[in-house]
Amino acid sequence: DGGITQSPKYLFRKEGQNVTLSCEQNLNHDAMYWYRQDPGQGLRLIYYSQIVNDFQKGDIAEGYSVSREKKESFPLTVTSAQKNPTAFYLCASQGLAQPQHFGDGTRLSIL
């Protein structure tokens, strides 16, 4: 059963700590994305990757980092430099000429 898996579903972080959100897909999609959703706002693009070992900054990349060492995986690290990390994070993947498919998200909260 193909899909996108985000883990964990809920994550808590102490101030000053880095934390990594996992995103795995078995859809054989080339492109993967990370979005952030805040209450009353749309999905804002953090980073995206069109191919392995390559990624580009989105609209709100400051305080975040990513890697794309494997086609299936696109982890997002929320660093201590991100001043307002509490949000709902969504990962998506996309194949050629297809719409983006989303995971079920990770809700990150600061303790």
Residues at the site binding another protein, with contacts judged by CB under 8 A = 4, 6, 31, 33, 35, 40-45, 48, 50, 58, 90, 92, 94, 99-105, 107
Minimal distance in Å, beta carbon 16 to another protein?
A: 27
Residue where the block lists tokens 């989105």: 58
How far apart are CB 86 and another protein at their closest, in Å?
A: 15
Nearer to another protein, 41 or 84 (CB): 41
Angle at the Cα of 90 (from 77 to 62), degrees rounded to 5? 40
CA distances from 94 to 12, 33, 68 (A): 29, 8, 15
